[in-house]
Structure 1
């Protein structure tokens, strides 16, 4: 009986620990240096994906002390069963950080596509559905390119990049990172952003259903796959912390390129 009580105690303690981890606020502040970004001032992105059932809390808002040029929601803003009021409040809060851009995730339409469209429209945000939006940062043209939900067969990568000059800087956003290898072979992209995997959500050391999220810098390119902010199925995390990101894109001198 004593052993059973000990085992139950360990299980309960571990569950509480993983529950606490699922609701952490971790803002990753990461620099990306690119040779074809010429402005003296950095271009700052707040990137968040996989919010699911979580609420964007005030304590997160208070920690964002940088001027943000673009807020990008990388899909799975919600899922079936999330109250519409919570979704609306999350969108409203994120829109206060900076101009809002959003791509569809595989769970979002479960709450009713018309609701998300209305809430994003109400805050002046943009839904990127196989299209690109040009932002002028000082004298630098920056394109935010977003594709629709891959799992629903709605993504059209070629269409999304149709009108984007090859020499311009491009930030490519997809909810799922599984298209990245194909996209990188065909197109010259500078920054790629995705979520979806939750970093495996529960990991044992290096073992997890998916790889842990990371920012990978390769020559003049950066790929970020986020662990995401919320959880799916069960509100527990272990070894793949909840996270969102402030990315500062800066100029890198060609003399430093190896």
Structure 2
């Protein structure tokens, strides 16, 4: 085969791969998870929509229709935007998400590039809550379900003690931070649910290999951990082996008896 022909074949193959990576970045999988946590009482828990790392993308009407709702909480796990994203797009995304249920947001490492005042205004105008080292009660009853969120660690303002100050013994805690690295700052605190994004699942992976760990959902021994691949992209609008995603999470509490049985 002539060198020109080889070059043309390689260029065509590269073009096909890039087109597939671009297309992969423009869709998103809606993953559904059901999980049981262990608490001091039995009880139904909240239904949550979790989405992180929107960056420059528009939240599509198709995703909103597919997600359905209503949700007890719509949680944005940071990087709602980044520098250069127009205010109109940020407002559109928040308006669409807030239509699904009460909106909660934690800071990402890129969000303040568009201005902290703008982000706060957009969230507030749609009745949402910024959880920067704060907590919010999602459901009361036999079990009080608390959503706890921290600022992003790039702000040097993560304050776990402040975030947990209103949490009481017996509460079921859903902890959210932009980066899973904040989980290491929890110390002796052991929330029933941990959620984060930030990593993009490595965004571009070759088989098992990527710059960062691929996203995952784990439910084991009454504890839940979610690290999402995220919805948007960073640096380049391409994905390979780490598809864009957001998550519907249905939680239920089950009492664990002294003998360890449920």
Q: TM-score range by the shorter chain?
A: over 0.9
Contact 2:40 2:170 in 1 (8 A): no
2:108 counterpart of 1:105 = yes
User: What's the counterpart of residue 140 of structure 1?
Assistant: 143
> Within 5 A, what are the aligned runs for 1:44-55?
44-55=47-58
The unaligned stretches of length 5 or more in structure 1 are: none
SS of the counterpart of 1:35? strand
Whole-angstrom CA distance in 2 between matches of 1:39 and 1:71? 24
> Within 5 A, what are the aligned runs for 1:30-179?
30-36=33-39, 38=41, 40-179=43-182
> Within 5 A, what are the aligned runs for 1:189-204?
189-204=191-206
2:208 counterpart of 1:206 = yes
Structure showing greater Rg = 2
Whole-angstrom CA distance in 1 between matches of 2:54 and 2:64? 15
| CA displacement, residues 84-118 of structure 1 (integer Å, 9 cap, x when unaligned) | 10001000100001000000000000011111111
| Alignment root-mean-square deviation, CA | 1.7
User: What's the counterpart of residue 19 of structure 1?
Assistant: 22
User: What's the counterpart of residue 254 of structure 2?
Assistant: 252
Report the more deviating stretch, 71-80 or 162-171.
162-171
SS of the counterpart of 2:34? strand
User: What is the TM-score when the length of structure 2 is the normalising length?
Assistant: 0.93
Contact 2:73 2:104 in 1 (8 A): yes
| CA displacement, residues 34-82 of structure 1 (integer Å, 9 cap, x when unaligned) | 1227565441000000000000111001102343100000000000011
User: What is the TM-score when the length of structure 1 is the normalising length?
Assistant: 0.95
Report the more deviating stretch, 3-12 or 130-139.
130-139
Contact 1:91 1:120 in 2 (8 A): yes
Contact 1:37 1:250 in 2 (8 A): no
Contact 1:75 1:102 in 2 (8 A): yes
- Cα 1:209–1:37, aligned 2, differ >3 Å: closer, same or farther? farther
SS of the counterpart of 1:105? coil
- What number of residue pairs does the alignment pair up? 257
State which of 223, 226, 229 in structure 2 corresponds to 1:227: 229
- Cα 1:217–1:181, aligned 2, differ >3 Å: closer, same or farther? farther
SS of the counterpart of 1:252? strand
Whole-angstrom CA distance in 1 between matches of 2:142 and 2:59? 33
